Amino acid sequence: MINLETPKKFRVLTDQAHLVATEIFRANSRKYDRAEHAYPKELDMLASLMDGMEEAGARGGAGASGVRREASADEGNRNGSNLSTCLGIMELCWGDVGLLLAMPRQGLGNSAIASVANEEQLQRFAGRWAAMAITEPGCGSDSANIRTTAVLDGDHYVLNGEKIYVTSGDRADLVVVWATLDRSKGRAAIKSFVVEKGTPGFELVRLEHKLGIRASDTAAFVLKDCRVPKENLLGDPEVNVEKGFAGVMQTFDNTRPLVASMAIGLTRACLEETWAQLKRVGVEVDYSKPALNQSAAAAALLALEADYEAARLLTLQAAWMADNRKPNSLQASMAKAKAGRTCVDVALKCVEICGAIGYSENDLLEKWARDAKILDIFEGTQQIQLLIVSRRLLGKSSAELK
Segments of 54-173 assigned E as strands: 130-133, 149-153, 156-167
- Residue of 42, 238, 379, 400 marked active site: 379
Active site residue 309: no
Backbone angles phi, psi at 72, to 5 degrees: -140, 145
C-alpha 126 chain-centroid distance? 20
130 touches 109 (CB < 8 A): yes
Q: How far is CA 368 from CA 192, 346, 358, in A?
A: 32, 10, 10
Q: Are 176 and 146 in contact (CB under 8 A)?
A: no
Residue type, 98: G
Neighbours of 270 (CB within 10 A): 28
Report the distance separating Cα 359 and Cα 365, nearest Å: 7
Is residue 105 classed as helix, strand or coil in its secondary structure?
Answer: coil
Q: How many CA atoms lie within 13 A of 288 on its CB side?
A: 0
Amino acid, res. 342: T
Report the residue count for the chain: 402
Nearest to 108 by CA among 379, 380, 382: 379
Are the beta carbons of 267 and 311 closer than 8 angstroms?
yes
What's the Cα-to-Cα distance from 61 to each of 10, 17, 79, 373, 377, rounded to whole Å? 9, 9, 12, 24, 23
Distance CA 116, CA 114 (A): 6
CA angle 97, 100, 103 (to 5 degrees): 155
Active site amino acids:
379
